[in-house]
Amino acid sequence: MTVTFPSLLQDKPLQALADAARSAVGKEFKQRADNVVLAFALGPSTTVAAQADQAQDKN
């Protein structure tokens, strides 16, 4: 099971977020998940190094 968040959540510690996600998955699917993967969308990078890497990938 993968739980994806639209961005990083600054107001909760990662462990609290993991516990909440695991609990929500259990309640929603009425069974225990073997593994829960948390993912965060970070959006585009604004660093010069990342822009250089992207330009290099296009060539």
Tell me the pLDDT tens digit for each residue of 9-49.
888 898 998 898 899 989 998 888 888 898 888 888 777 66
Structure tokens at 9: 């959540």
How crowded is residue 22: how many other Cβ atoms within 10 Å of its Cβ?
17
The Cα–Cα gap between 23 and 3 comes to: 12
Structure tokens at 18: 């993991």
Q: Residue type for 34, please?
A: D
3-state SS, residue 21: helix
First-to-last C-alpha distance (Å) of the chain: 36
pTM: 0.58
